[in-house]
Chains A and B, each alone.
Chain A
Amino acid sequence: MSEIYDLIVIGGGPAGYVAAERAGESKLKTLLIEREEHLGGVCLNWGCIPTKTWLACSKLFYQASHGAAFGVNASNLTLDFAKVQERKAKVQGQLRQGIKGLMRKFGVTVVQGTAKLVAAGKVQVGETVYEAKNVLIASGSRPAKPPIPGLDGANVVDSSGILSLSALPKKLAVIGGGVIGVEFACFFAQVGVAVEVIELMPEIGGAIDPDCARILREELSAKGVSFRLGYKVQKVDAAGVHAVDGGGNAVHIPADLVLCSVGRTPNTENLGLEAAGVDLDRRLIRVDDQGRTNIPGVWAAGDCCSRIMLAHVASRQAEVVVNTIAGRKDRMRWKAVPGVVYASPEVAGVGLTEAAAKAEGTPVIVAKWPLQANGRFIAENDGKGLVKVLFHATDRRVLGVHIVGGAAGEMIAGAATAIEAELRIDELAEVIWPHPTVSEAQKDAIYPLLHH
């Protein structure tokens, strides 16, 4: 008879390995099962981390090649793409070692293989059945593949495949102007590749604040990205992408490489979920605020059960599950989930947008501050930027903050704290904001509305 674990985690991404780490820390006997070679999931292997490495390289290249206005002139600049890939691998290697070390440190047993839930408390990998008091499904997601003819062509990649390129394309067509598509568009445009983004909706960026999305689009356009908004892709072939515009006119968008980035699909097949009776909501596992599924002892966290497929959401969900298993009170809250677009300019938002506030009937006041009136921003940038603070019209608590420009992603955690703590603009205004920083634009935005 094999030993019984306190927790078996299926999937070693930002939900799974964080759950295993926290569980080990809580002295729970933990088994982590990962089907891929490396832990870290999409985030470390095909997502957050490699793309941020790419973007850092391309930002440096762009700044070096566009430094004239700052008195910086460089000639004979080249981009060594092989070196870029080497750096990506180095960064990933270091972080993979880090996760391995954490698993060792907290006594987590790691098994490589494809897991299947046989029943509550029983997980099969190959011929072995492991038993546990609790099973956490953290099986993640994969790039969605829409029913567009030609996506199997050799010139088409998804957001994972594109990271294995050995050379830069001459012309890239990006199907889908959401966060993932925009980040890749920014990377390629900054290193001199012609990029065309084809988006079905009238604006890029998916659910991000429309004012921020517009500024982001304008800034990226200035870097040479073409946007085709309101276009529907019909098919892809060796010559590129064929689409129709809003008026129904057929357009051919030539490209030697096509990136398909139209969202992500949860990995909830072939895990034995149906047989075990785990309740799904469309393809997502249905969970409560503590991550419980309908089957006692079976939990879920991350992209396989979340409408907001972000690494930090997954990790937080995982922590809630482990805390609940360990008997500590915790719950998932969704009102302050930060989202970041790591393009240049960087965009970050947390909490309600104006549209979301309207949809739920919450009266809000919007405080705006253009970054063209911000000292540090002007010193460092020639373009546009914006900070928006949404607060409740009557009780004045901060409900949303949206930023384009500066290190928006670094600033947004402060805003998330304010929303979680339900600080009102009155409290926020009494915080000492450092000067000169882009962050102080939040205070500048709310101050004129403070005494009304």
Chain B
Amino acid sequence: MATVVVLPKQGNSVESCIIVRWMKNVGDAVKEGDGLCEVETDKATVEVPATASGVLLTQARKQGEDVPVQTPIAVIGNAGEDVAGLLGGTATTQVVEASTPVAAQTTTPAGPAGVTGGPAARAPGGAPGGEGGSSPRAREAAVDRGVDLAGVAGSGPNGLVIERDIANAPRMTPAAKAAGGTIPAVGTGLAGTVTAADRMTPLAAATPAVAAPVAGAVTDIPVKSIRKVIAERMRQSISTTAQLTLNTTAKATAMNALRARYKAAGESVGLAAPSVNDLILLAVARTLPKFPMVNAHFLGDKIRQFSDIHLGVAIDTERGLMVPVVKDAGRKSVAEIGREVKSLAKACQEGAVKPEQLSGSTFTVTNLGALGIEHFTPVLNVPEIAILGVGGIVLRPYEGAKGVEFIPSIALSLTIDHQGLDGAPAARFLQALVKAIEAIDLVVAA
């Protein structure tokens, strides 16, 4: 004889519960007292126990449904038992769609968010919230507490936002609700309220700790002008991007040979030998057009790709790091790029560089090879989506026809913003760049 399990009353005030999760599947053997499913009341999540032993024959209600108390939710009986008649009337007349608003079943008055509207306003039929949607009770609670469902991580099945997630959600100011960005667990506003600034620049809230005293003489250098700009840009870069660095090497044989030829004969034909960096810039400028996803800015709500190549070049100066821009490098020869880098570097070192020469880059190259660095992790020049770090030329063993050969190779480190660019396309760009560098004589001639 099959037994119909009804949703038990959960205290006097609870009229309905959300089925958060079925703990037993149809066909599972159950013992009396086993948890059948988890349901959520307005106060807690509780387990509904099986009221008989046997096999779970029917789940009368779906996960996420709002079920009135004392209505059937399951049938337990013997395997193969026909239970079609058992639920007949009740189930079909009382099925509540998961997306039906439950306003009619509650007596909770509209809270402040009901006045101001916004993302948490009562939306019949909708299932706002995280990717898993939200339970009707969670939506009610969100309205009452003024919580933005869009920013709440669901802890229910498949990321379903349930009521306790709302209870744990941080309070936000009206301006913070309207702002975009991540929601920290605790904000810097009144009694930990999340402010607009907390969402826009999470790290701005963190003030540097006061340092403990250190024995001996100290020198305090005020952080201002270029150092201040660098500090802000670097912190912004690290705090607003998802940085991933890919490392590889390119054989430098062709570059070395080309430079040797320039040195040997170039001057007699009026050509100065390009530096390693000039050649790398050229290779980058010639490779980027085939990879528009790399020659791009990540702007949060959009990725902006550029048809022209404007290369930022990191320059070390006494006052600090500066990044002047070689405009339209895609259309310039290696000699033009070389001359321009030289004059920009001089302007930076002399403090004569103009603001417009320091902005408008689409991709940046930074080179520490001359200082003996083999590999490093460049920090993105935001909002650029990628930056190339160039290391020094070292001998690397390769297996050749006559056994192991040592071939001069140059290290390449590409940091990408994984928010906007994935590892594989970035790796394909690096592969193409390696090919261009290894055939640099052809690239120069092209």
Which residues on A are within 8 Å of B, measured CB to CB?
277, 279, 286-289, 292-296, 329, 331, 333, 392, 395-397, 420-424, 426-427, 430
Q: Closest approach, in angstroms, between the C-beta of B216 and any C-beta of chain A?
A: 12
Report whether B116 and A426 are in contact in the complex, using a CB–CB cutoff of 8 Å.
Answer: yes
Instruction: Across the A-B interface, give the 10 residue pairs with the lowest CB-CB distance, nearest first.
Output: A422-B173, A397-B175, A422-B175, A277-B213, A294-B210, A288-B210, A395-B175, A420-B190, A424-B174, A289-B207
Within 8 A of A (CB), among B161-182: 173-176, 178-179
Docked complex Cα distance between A33 and B207 (Å)? 31
Report whether A421 and B193 are in contact in the complex, using a CB–CB cutoff of 8 Å.
Answer: yes
Give A398's nearest chain B residue, CB to CB: B175
Report whether B213 and A395 are in contact in the complex, using a CB–CB cutoff of 8 Å.
Answer: no
Extra 7 A-B pairs, beta carbons < 8 Å, given A293-B210, A331-B188 = A279-B210, A292-B210, A294-B212, A395-B179, A421-B174, A423-B173, A427-B174
Task: Write out the residue numbers on chain A whose beta carbons fall within 8 Å of the beta carbon of B189.
Answer: 333, 420-422
Show 16 A/B contacts (Cβ-Cβ < 8 Å), sorted by A. Answer: A277-B213, A286-B210, A292-B210, A296-B212, A329-B192, A333-B188, A392-B175, A395-B178, A395-B196, A396-B175, A397-B174, A421-B193, A422-B176, A423-B173, A426-B116, A426-B174
State whether the Cβ of B241 lies closer than 8 Å to any Cβ in chain A.
Answer: no
Docked complex Cα distance between A295 and B212 (Å)? 6
Give A392's nearest chain B residue, CB to CB: B175
Report whether A294 and B190 are in contact in the complex, using a CB–CB cutoff of 8 Å.
Answer: no
Against A, the Cβ 8 Å flags (1 = close, 0 = not) of B176-220 are 101100000010111011011000000000010111110000000
Task: Write out the residue numbers on chain A whose beta carbons fall within 8 Å of the beta carbon of B174.
Answer: 397, 421-424, 426-427
Docked complex Cα distance between A374 and B212 (Å)? 55
Report whether A422 and B195 are in contact in the complex, using a CB–CB cutoff of 8 Å.
Answer: yes
State whether the Cβ of B115 lies closer than 8 Å to any Cβ in chain A.
Answer: yes
Report whether A279 and B175 are in contact in the complex, using a CB–CB cutoff of 8 Å.
Answer: no
Give A422's nearest chain B residue, CB to CB: B173
Q: Closest approach, in angstroms, between the C-beta of B39 and any C-beta of chain A?
A: 34
Q: Closest approach, in angstroms, between the C-beta of A326 and any C-beta of chain B?
A: 15
Q: Is the interface of B mostly helix, strand, loop or mixed?
A: loop
Q: Closest approach, in angstroms, between the C-beta of A328 and any C-beta of chain B?
A: 10
Q: Closest approach, in angstroms, between the C-beta of B104 and any C-beta of chain A?
A: 27
Give A420's nearest chain B residue, CB to CB: B190
Docked complex Cα distance between A420 and B116 (Å)? 18
Report whether B173 and A329 are in contact in the complex, using a CB–CB cutoff of 8 Å.
Answer: no
Task: Write out the residue numbers on chain B whose beta carbons fall within 8 Å of the beta carbon of A396.
Answer: 175, 178
Task: Write out the residue numbers on chain B whose beta carbons fall within 8 Å of the beta carbon of A426.
Answer: 116, 174
Docked complex Cα distance between A154 and B192 (Å)? 53
A287 interface neighbour in B176, B178, B210, B212, Cβ under 8 Å: B210
Q: Closest approach, in angstroms, between the C-beta of B212 and any C-beta of chain A?
A: 6
Task: Write out the residue numbers on chain B whose beta carbons fall within 8 Å of the beta carbon of A293.
Answer: 210
Within 8 A of A (CB), among B303-359: none
Give A293's nearest chain B residue, CB to CB: B210
Task: Write out the residue numbers on chain B whose beta carbons fall within 8 Å of the beta carbon of A287.
Answer: 210
Docked complex Cα distance between A257 and B209 (Å)? 48
Give A287's nearest chain B residue, CB to CB: B210
Give A329's nearest chain B residue, CB to CB: B192
Docked complex Cα distance between A296 and B174 (Å)? 37
Report whether B176 and A427 are in contact in the complex, using a CB–CB cutoff of 8 Å.
Answer: no
Report whether A421 and B213 are in contact in the complex, using a CB–CB cutoff of 8 Å.
Answer: no
Give A328's nearest chain B residue, CB to CB: B191
Report whether B209 and A288 are in contact in the complex, using a CB–CB cutoff of 8 Å.
Answer: yes
Q: Closest approach, in angstroms, between the C-beta of A272 and any C-beta of chain B?
A: 14
Report whether A295 and B213 are in contact in the complex, using a CB–CB cutoff of 8 Å.
Answer: yes
Task: Write out the residue numbers on chain B whose beta carbons fall within 8 Å of the beta carbon of A427.
Answer: 116, 174
Docked complex Cα distance between A322 and B192 (Å)? 17
Q: Closest approach, in angstroms, between the C-beta of B110 and any C-beta of chain A?
A: 14
Report whether B173 and A288 are in contact in the complex, using a CB–CB cutoff of 8 Å.
Answer: no
Report whether B213 and A424 are in contact in the complex, using a CB–CB cutoff of 8 Å.
Answer: no
Interface centre among B179, B193, B211, B213 (most CB of A within 10 A): B213
Give A391's nearest chain B residue, CB to CB: B175
Assuming the A-B contacts A289-B207, A329-B186, A420-B190, are A294 and B213 also in contact, with contact meaning beta carbons closer than 8 angstroms in the complex?
A: yes
Report whether A424 and B178 are in contact in the complex, using a CB–CB cutoff of 8 Å.
Answer: yes
Task: Write out the residue numbers on chain B whose beta carbons fall within 8 Å of the beta carbon of A277.
Answer: 213
Give B212's nearest chain A residue, CB to CB: A294
Within 8 A of A (CB), among B106-150: 115-116
Docked complex Cα distance between A397 and B210 (Å)? 31
Docked complex Cα distance between A292 and B210 (Å)? 8
Q: Closest approach, in angstroms, between the C-beta of A427 and any C-beta of chain B?
A: 5
Q: Closest approach, in angstroms, between the C-beta of B272 and any C-beta of chain A?
A: 43
Task: Write out the residue numbers on chain B whose beta carbons fall within 8 Å of the beta carbon of A279.
Answer: 210-211, 213
Give A330's nearest chain B residue, CB to CB: B191
Task: Write out the residue numbers on chain B whose beta carbons fall within 8 Å of the beta carbon of A289.
Answer: 207
Task: Write out the residue numbers on chain B whose beta carbons fall within 8 Å of the beta carbon of A430.
Answer: 115
Docked complex Cα distance between A424 and B117 (Å)? 13
Q: Closest approach, in angstroms, between the C-beta of A299 and any C-beta of chain B?
A: 11
Docked complex Cα distance between A331 and B186 (Å)? 12
Task: Write out the residue numbers on chain A whose beta carbons fall within 8 Å of the beta carbon of B211.
Answer: 279, 294
Q: Closest approach, in angstroms, between the C-beta of A71 and any C-beta of chain B?
A: 46
Task: Write out the residue numbers on chain B whose beta carbons fall within 8 Å of the beta carbon of A295.
Answer: 212-213
Q: Closest approach, in angstroms, between the C-beta of A116 and any C-beta of chain B?
A: 18
Docked complex Cα distance between A50 and B370 (Å)? 70
Docked complex Cα distance between A198 and B292 (Å)? 64
Q: Closest approach, in angstroms, between the C-beta of A392 and any C-beta of chain B?
A: 7
Docked complex Cα distance between A239 and B212 (Å)? 53
Interface centre among B116, B174, B176, B196 (most CB of A within 10 A): B174
Interface centre among A293, A331, A422 (most CB of B within 10 A): A422
Docked complex Cα distance between A397 and B186 (Å)? 20
Task: Write out the residue numbers on chain B whose beta carbons fall within 8 Å of the beta carbon of A395.
Answer: 175, 178-179, 196
Docked complex Cα distance between A329 and B188 (Å)? 10
Task: Write out the residue numbers on chain A whose beta carbons fall within 8 Å of the beta carbon of B193.
Answer: 421
Interface centre among B175, B188, B189, B213 (most CB of A within 10 A): B175
